[in-house]
Amino acid sequence: MIRGSWKALAWIALAELCALSLWFSASVIAPELIQVWNLSSNLEAWLSASVPIGFVTGALVSSYFGIADRFNPRKVFAFSAFLGALMNASLILADQAYLGILLRILTGISLAGVYPIAVKILSQWFPKKRGFAIGILIAALTLGSSLPHFIIMFFSSLNWQLVIICSSILALLAAIIVIWILEDAPVTINKSPFSFKLIKKVISNKPVMLANYGYFGHMWELYAMWTWIPIFLTASFTSYSPGISPWFIALSSFITIGIAGGIGCVVGGLVSDKIGRANLTIISMLISAICCILIGFTFGQYIWLTLVLSIIWGMSVISDSAQFSAAVSEAAEAEYVGTALTFQMCIGFLITIFSINLIPVIQRFVGWEWVFTGLAIGPILGIVSMVQYKRYEIGHVKGTIGSIK
């Protein structure tokens, strides 16, 4: 264990938490933006898809040019967080939908220099046994993504610009933490750059692709759930109790996505070390798939019932996230592990664009009671893939034990 690694983890996680508040900063104020920009139904879809599009674009460009290897990753993180804060704050000045959507795409590009780079910095501080550390980092990402719901609890009665200002300030704080407080790790890891030429090797590696298929199913569900569960809770709670406080709805969304999700990440990281990555992902996706199917039946029913099930869903939907990347890093050859991880992340976030925008289309036909059942397809297919991956995981463990003997 590198001296000071846990202190570094605390600062990295805090910076990640603050910077990721940019992801959903516009989503929580979407009703206001729709009115301000006079958004059509087609452009509404682009508003929700803009950040993932930017993120995928930024991740590919950053990985292809090896930015994290050519430059100090702390400086890359700090610059990206600063740029994201600037793009996010500029939304206040945007008076047209196209300009606002462009700014959200640029915000997504900047976040590609935050989340993947944070993983890079973390890997330098934890060259070995980083499972729990990654769990903490994903928990910070989860909590940070839900922060706009926490912010809106206090500013729901004021103008929407304050939500944007607060999230931008948090991103600036992330940049300050990383550039002036966090230190460089005393060791660096070997470079593992992205290469389009190596994608063929990634695709031909069956264990890697099985882990990828599991991740793709996980991502089909995750961001669509994070995007639409607050809207579902609003519709369900107001249906049961029309006079319910908006503050309580915002708090429920924050607990479901942030608090429950953060706990799920930490618990998932600890449990996976005991029962194996494949088993943890299978259990998590099974629980989340059941929640996808059941949550609609609570619509307009007792608030406590809807909230309890949504919290269980919030924990299970993210508890396995870190394990898919860990599985790929273990199954891929050192030559192309960087390409494999970039491929996994980019395809996964591309999938979220479709699932996020599919929910409102389905909702118009089947209502809130059945809309989330379509998300269950992702974890169900993911379970099938990880059951097959499990055989390779067992073989890898046996091979490792045999080599030690």
Give the pair of three-digit tokens for residue 202: 């990634």
Q: Could you give the CA distance from residue 191 to residue 65 in angstroms, rounded to a whole number?
A: 12
- Under a CB-based contact definition with an 8 Å cutoff, are residues 266 and 139 in contact? yes
pTM: 0.88
187 is a domain residue: no
Digit-coded pLDDT (tens) for 337-377: 878 888 899 999 999 999 999 998 899 899 999 999 999 99
pLDDT at 30: 84
Are residues 218 and 350 located together in one domain of the fold?
Answer: yes
Q: Could you give the CA distance from residue 107 to residue 367 in angstroms, rounded to a whole number?
A: 32
Are residues 268 and 388 located together in one domain of the fold?
Answer: yes
Structural domain including 108 reads 1-182
Digit-coded pLDDT (tens) for 104-147: 999 999 999 998 888 888 878 887 766 778 888 899 999 999 98
CATH of the domain at 404: 1.20.1250.20
> Where is the domain boundary, 123, 153, 182?
182
Q: Per the structure, how many domains does the chain have?
A: 2
pLDDT at 212: 95
Are residues 232 and 369 located together in one domain of the fold?
Answer: yes
DSSP per-residue letters across 317-358 = TTTTHHHHHHHHHHHS-GGGHHHHHHHHHHHHHHHHHHHHHH
Are residues 151 and 241 located together in one domain of the fold?
Answer: no
Are residues 229 and 318 located together in one domain of the fold?
Answer: yes
pLDDT at 399 over 70: no
> Based on the number of CB atoms within 10 Å of its own CB, is 142 exposed (0-12), middle (13-18) or buried (19 or more)?
buried
254-to-136, 224, 249 alpha-carbon distances in Å: 18, 16, 9
pLDDT at 140: 92
Digit-coded pLDDT (tens) for 217-229: 999 999 999 999 9
Are residues 224 and 176 located together in one domain of the fold?
Answer: no
pLDDT at 405: 41
User: For the residues 82-92, what does the mean pLDDT come to?
Assistant: 96
